[in-house]
Structure 1
């Protein structure tokens, strides 16, 4: 149902470099791009994550309580994505660990302060 999620940026080139390297950790690639918008995913027919320069030319701001969650296939992948985010200049919002009921997750912020979560939750 969700086509794509956008996060605003005030440093477009920096954000593109951050997400190119971060999202390759989960097998995503650029699926659409313009001079002010880039989207990553396996293809544009499933939900993708994108960054954008705000259309109104005002500074991008972070939404309080807004977060993007990336679903991965193992706790080891959670650890790897979290580590990569911090290596790329992201900041810690919650180290990897079991949050209860087998929900293994880590939290971080990107270069613009947008909050992301990477998680693994085994089903079945």
Structure 2
């Protein structure tokens, strides 16, 4: 159902490096790299994440309540992606941990533009 999600960024080169390293851990890579937008994913037929400098050239503003969540497949991989994001310059917005006993394990970060990301495992 979802084709792609876009996050606005202020520095496309920095965002490309951050998300390239981070999403590479999930097997994703840049699939389309254009002047002001880069699409990351495993294939054009699967959901993608794009980062872009806003079309109107205004500052990117993360939305209140907006978040992109990634499911890497295990609690250990949640921890690893969280640590990877922090090492790439993200800021902690909720350390890895069990949020709903036996049902939801998650970790939260904010990228350098303030976009909120979640790494989670259900079950």
Q: Aligning the two structures, in what range does the TM-score lie when normalised by the shorter sequence?
A: over 0.9
Q: Which runs of 5+ in 1 are unaligned?
A: none
- 93-102 vs 3-12, greater mean Cα deviation: 93-102
Residue 13 of structure 1, CA deviation: 0.6
Moved over 6 A (4+): none
CA contact under 8 A between 1:86 and 1:92: conserved in structure 2? yes
Corresponding residue number in structure 2 for 1:24: 24
CA contact under 8 A between 1:69 and 1:116: conserved in structure 2? yes
What TM-score do the two structures reach when normalised by structure 2?
A: 0.95
Residue 102 of structure 1, CA deviation: 2.6
Q: In the alignment, does 2:80 pair up with 1:74?
A: no
CA contact under 8 A between 1:9 and 1:15: conserved in structure 2? yes
User: Map of 1:1-124 to 2, 5 A cutoff?
Assistant: 1-100=1-100, 101-122=102-123
Equivalent pairs counted in the alignment come to: 122
Q: Which runs of 5+ in 2 are unaligned?
A: none
Task: Give, in whole Å, the separation in 1 of the partners of 2:39 and 2:96.
Answer: 26
SS of 1:15's equivalent in the other structure is helix
What TM-score do the two structures reach when normalised by structure 1?
A: 0.95
Pairwise CA RMSD of aligned residues?
Answer: 0.9
SS of 2:59's equivalent in the other structure is coil
CA contact under 8 A between 1:70 and 1:119: conserved in structure 2? yes
